[in-house]
């Protein structure tokens, strides 16, 4: 195990460098798989268990949101991985009409997951990871033009239910008025005055979470499907706290 100070240094470097973040995820894949195994209470199967991809994305989220005040990075990452996996399972359980891949098919007690395993793309996890990395790189490039970084978004995210709801209300109003999004893209500035008057949200709240709102508006208007799906899980997790 590396010295905690060395890990923290690598994490802070990875906050601003997509390649460094990807390298850190690769180095800590055994840790990510181990945390996934703890949650599943069995070894995860690459190419079959979506939980591995969820854990990888959560580890990247931990990199973006970590600060020394949180203590040990690996403990923080482990907590976040478990939290996101719980969110994922809760979401999946809501789809009551969808048969679990791990549910016995009734035929010699072989699970449906095992029946379909050979038909699945063995490189599925690699493709998901590459697609996620591609989205993150493109989003990082676009946010840089607005003076916003991934670490800014993590640090600027709403922490309380009331603030989260206010930000969601602001985002919803902006999405319903495309001219505001066009103004954002043209001026590289959040149209705060119009958002305040249109959404009814307090100006201080919008200003305090400006970078977070800019990032989400970019995400919701530019087809970042993987990131958008992940953010929905994060928001549900915050709302449940």
First-to-last C-alpha distance (Å) of the chain? 32
Alpha helices, H only, 16-72: 18-27, 29-40, 50-65
The residues spanned by each domain of the chain are 4-120, 140-240
- φ, ψ dihedrals at 111, nearest 5°: -70, 155
Reference 89, options 200, 199, 240; nearest CA is 240
Q: pTM here?
A: 0.47
- The DSSP secondary-structure symbol of 70 reads G
Distance CA 85, CA 5 (A): 27
Question: pLDDT tens per residue, the chain (241 residues)?
Answer: 456 678 888 999 988 888 888 889 888 988 998 999 988 888 887 767 788 888 999 999 899 888 888 888 898 899 989 888 888 887 766 543 333 334 443 444 333 333 333 444 444 455 566 667 777 777 788 888 888 876 777 777 777 778 888 988 998 898 888 888 888 888 988 999 999 999 999 999 999 999 889 888 887 766 666 676 666 555 444 444 4
Domain 4-120: give its CATH code. Answer: 1.10.1740.10
Angle at which helix 4-15 crosses helix 50-65, to 10 degrees, equals 90
Distance CA 176, CA 194 (A): 13
């Amino acid at each position: 195990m590396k010295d905690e100070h060395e890990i923290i240094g690598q994490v802070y470097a990875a906050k601003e460098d997509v390649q460094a973040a990807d390298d850190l995820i690769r180095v800590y894949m055994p840790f990510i798989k181990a945390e996934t195994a703890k949650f599943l209470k069995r070894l995860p199967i690459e190419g079959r268990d979506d939980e591995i991809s969820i854990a990888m994305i959560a580890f990247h989220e931990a990199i973006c949101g970590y600060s020394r005040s949180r203590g040990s990075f690996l403990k923080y990452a482990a907590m976040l991985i478990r939290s996101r996996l719980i969110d994922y399972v809760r979401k999946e359980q809501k789809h009551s009409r969808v048969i679990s891949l791990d549910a016995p098919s009734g035929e010699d007690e072989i699970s449906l997951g095992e029946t379909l395993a050979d038909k699945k793309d063995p490189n599925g996890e690699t493709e998901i990871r590459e697609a996620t990395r591609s989205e993150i790189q493109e989003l990082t490039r676009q946010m840089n033009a607005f003076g916003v970084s991934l670490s800014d978004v993590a640090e600027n995210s709403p922490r309380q239910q009331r603030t989260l709801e206010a930000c969601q209300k602001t985002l919803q109003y902006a999405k319903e008025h495309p001219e505001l999004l066009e103004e954002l893209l043209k001026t590289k500035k959040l149209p705060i005055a119009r958002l305040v008057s249109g959404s009814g949200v307090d100006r201080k709240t919008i200003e305090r979470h400006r970078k977070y709102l800019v990032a989400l508006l970019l995400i919701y208007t530019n087809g970042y499907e993987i990131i958008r799906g992940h953010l929905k899980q994060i928001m549900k997790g915050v709302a449940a706290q």
